[in-house]
Chain A
């Protein structure tokens, strides 16, 4: 019992981390139809930037802030200077973001070296809490709560504010939104920067248990893709449900069948795809 509860919570907290990545990936796709291969790099850069800032200042909050700002900038520059030129040219955008992902991976290797590094868990959270029969690391619980909070905030902003209404209008029909006099270009840049910042934020949040190492970007990207394929591209609800599902499946896969753990993840994904090609909450 303790095993199942512990592993489920582990999976859910990993899912919360995935949500930080996948929600940005999904929103960017929903708005701009960009399959952003560089999204894993945002996570990686976030983790490394967080590590550097904590080593310099010893402050975890500052690390989060630095990663958010840095990745928002990187995202905005990429969207503004490169991707915006290729509106509606999906293949070109994929190639571009793929080129960026290679360049980022190599730059990270150059700047931070090839050894795996781990961020110390923030002191107040470096303990275990008792949850019924199981002990559970307080930090992972915090990640779970932060993920939930981020989900609620994004949902509130999208559903309850004017900005959210404008974004939803742009998602539904960019041409129409333009026609209504909405200035779409800064919204696109802003959303891209926001998605990148979320992934960078996730990178710092995840660094105490996933660490930072070369190849981390291409370890998390397939999982984020699995999330959006299962949940449905462009759907926030899909990103949330997909993250939890993928987090739990991946965790149990690794715990129960370490050799075939990708099967436990990709077979359910294949089944969902076969039944619903656009994912659980996708609109096609």
Chain B
């Protein structure tokens, strides 16, 4: 743990430099893909706060992303506010929705929590789909104005927009990173490992989980407003169960419980989707197969798998047996399944 933290700044500086330079070096098409990676990466990161750090398996996370995007669009168009105000309204709407849904979902535990977040997410999709006078229904909400930072030039150029989105995402990611190292973040991880013990230690675990839920919703909403600003268009598909599932897949692929893994996972999904765009009709089939193969063969995620493989090669004699690595906290499969074993270990 200690030397991973020491190595982190170099990894971050290298990654940050690459993210800064890439748009200058690659065709603009890739800049678009990078923007999507950042936006979905932020959403996936916010979901990971629940999934990986708190052990709350939320399956309706696209609801906050989509609600914020719609709110931003409606506010910007109907109230003619500046885009930053509209973005703020979007984030606020997502936070309020998360506060409401959290109250309902938090009463249930484990698999009931999962099914309730799923159903609430589906309900939000239904609302976006059928509330035609507000959302445009199936046609979506077109014409969301580009971000205007108040200097009189809206960010329409993809490279300029990329840097704006990079800045916002980096700031949000830094705050999330600090949060996971804060006493609050550590308490969340304690709840993931054993909620009962944390409660016994005097933590108000309900409140911790509830705050994490709202925070994750608001951050997911922030990603949604960035998406709306980039895309200029929101449709019910952005809140569909498929969108929620893609976010979960990004977290799992990148490795849940690692804050930056989900960004990697988002990149994989975004690039994969565009690689197979020649067979756009078959995207769902490919996505489905990726899901199944991941669960069967890399439940700890690509990053987790890579770390496991690297770890095994680096210190073959260490206790890093495949079993132990598989039971690493944050691995999808391990998370709930190994509860009794962990108690015994």
Instruction: Select A95's contact among B119, B133, B242, B295, beta carbons within 8 Å.
Output: B295
- Whether A82 and B115, one on each chain, are in contact in the complex, defined by CB atoms closer than 8 angstroms, is no
| Smallest beta-carbon distance B332→chain A, Å | 5
| Given known contacts A92-B333, A218-B240, A259-B132, A102 and B284 CB-to-CB distance under 8 angstroms | yes
Q: 1/0 contact trace for A105-127 toward B, CB 8 Å?
A: 11101100000000000000000
Chain B residue nearest to A275 (CB atoms) is B107
Q: Which residue of B lies closest to A270 (CB)?
A: B104
Tell me which of A33, A105, A258 contacts B130 (CB under 8 A). Answer: A258
Known: A106-B284, A262-B123. Is A82-B131 also a contact (CB below 8 A)?
no
CB neighbours (8 Å) of A90 from chain B are: 57, 110-111, 114, 336
Closest residue on chain B to residue A228 by CB atoms: B115
Q: Give the contacting residue for B292; candidates A103, A107, A266, A273; CB below 8 A.
A: A103
A161 within 8 A of B: no
Kindly name the residue among A95, A225, A259, A260 whose own CB sees the greatest number of chain B CB atoms within 10 A: A95
CB distance B292 to A82 under 8 Å? yes
Of A35, A37, A94, A233, chain B has the most CB atoms within 10 Å of the CB of: A94
**Is A27 an interface position by the 8 A CB rule?**
no
A220 to B304 CA separation, bound complex (whole angstroms) = 36
Q: Are A98 and B291 in contact (CB under 8 A)?
A: yes
> For this complex, into which size category does the number of interface residues on chain A fall?
35 or more
Distance between Cα atoms of A22 and B30 in the complex (Å): 45
B290 an interface residue at 8 Å Cβ cutoff?
yes
Q: Which residue of A lies closest to B241 (CB)?
A: A218
Q: For residue A96, which residues in chain B have a CB less than 8 angstroms away from its CB?
A: 291-292, 295-296
Give A238-284 interface residues, CB cut-off 8 Å to B. Answer: 258-263, 265-266, 269-270, 273-274, 277-278
8 Å CB interface, B164-219 against A: none
Q: How far is the CB of B292 from chain A (nearest CB, A)?
A: 4
User: For the complex, what is the distance from the CA of A96 to the CA of B293, rounded to whole Å?
Assistant: 9
Q: Nearest residue in A to B293 (C-beta to C-beta)? A: A99
Q: Are A100 and B292 in contact (CB under 8 A)?
A: yes
Distance, CA A192 to CA B132, complexed state (A): 39
Contact with A along B119-136 (1 / 0, CB 8 A): 110110111001111000
Contacts of A197 in B (CB 8 A): none
Report whether B111 and A278 are in contact in the complex, using a CB–CB cutoff of 8 Å: no
Contact A226 B119 (CB under 8 A): yes
Q: Mark B265-308, 1 if CB is under 8 A from A, else 0.
A: 00000000000000001111101111110111001000000000
A86 lies within 8 A of chain B by Cβ: yes
Name the contact of A261 in the complex, choosing from B110, B118, B130, B284 (C-beta under 8 A).
Answer: B130
What is the number of residues of chain B that contact chain A, defined by CB distance less than 8 Å?
A: 51
Cβ of B123: which chain A residues have Cβ within 8 Å of it?
222, 262, 265-266, 269
B11 in the interface, Cβ–Cβ < 8 Å?
Answer: no
Interface string of A34-62 (1 = CB under 8 A from B): 01010000000000000000000000000
- The verdict on A207 contacting chain B, using a C-beta distance below 8 Å, is no
- Asked if B252 is at the interface (CB within 8 A of a chain A CB), the reply is yes
Determine the chain A residues whose CB is within 8 A of the CB of B133 once the complex forms: 259
Contacts of B249 in A (CB 8 A): 95
Partner of B288, one of A103, A225, A226: A103
Q: Are B295 and A99 in contact (CB under 8 A)?
A: yes
**Which chain A residues lie closer than 8 Å to B336 at the CB level?**
88-91
- Out of A86, A110, A228, A262, which one reaches B333, CB within 8 Å? A86
Q: Is A221 an interface residue (CB 8 A)?
A: yes
CB distance from B153 to the nearest CB of A (A): 38
- A23 within 8 A of partner (CB): no
Q: Do A107 and B285 touch across chains, with their CB atoms under 8 A apart?
A: yes
Minimum C-beta distance from B33 to chain A (A):
22
Whether B130 pairs with A91 at a CB distance below 8 angstroms is no
**Contact assessment for A259 and B290 in the assembled complex, using a CB-CB cutoff below 8 Å:** no
Given the known A-B contacts A99-B292, A266-B120, are A105 and B337 also in contact in the complex, defined by CB atoms under 8 Å?
Answer: no
Q: How far is the CB of B147 from chain A (nearest CB, A)?
A: 30
Nearest CB on A from B155, distance (A) = 34
Give every chain A residue within 8 A of B285 (Cβ-Cβ).
102-103, 106-107, 110
A278 near B108 with CB under 8 A, answer yes
Taking a contact as CB atoms under 8 Å apart, the answer to whether A95 and B111 are in contact is no
**CA of A101 to CA of B287 in the docked complex: distance in angstroms?**
10
> Which B residues are closer than 8 A to A by beta carbons?
57, 59, 103-104, 107-108, 110-112, 114-116, 118-120, 122-123, 125-127, 130-133, 240-242, 245, 248-249, 252, 281-285, 287-292, 294-296, 299, 332-333, 335-337
21 A-B Cβ contacts within 8 A?
Answer: A33-B111, A35-B114, A89-B333, A90-B57, A91-B114, A91-B335, A94-B114, A98-B248, A99-B290, A100-B288, A102-B245, A103-B284, A105-B288, A109-B281, A221-B241, A229-B119, A233-B112, A258-B130, A269-B119, A273-B104, A273-B108
Apart from A99-B289, A222-B125: 9 A-B pairs, beta carbons within 8 A: A95-B295, A99-B292, A110-B285, A222-B119, A222-B122, A226-B119, A273-B104, A273-B108, A273-B116
Residues of A within 8 A of B (CB): 33, 35, 37, 82, 85-86, 88-92, 94-96, 98-107, 109-110, 218, 221-222, 225-226, 228-229, 233, 258-263, 265-266, 269-270, 273-274, 277-278
Closest 10 A/B residue pairs (Cβ): A99-B291, A102-B288, A103-B288, A262-B126, A222-B122, A106-B285, A106-B284, A266-B123, A99-B292, A277-B107
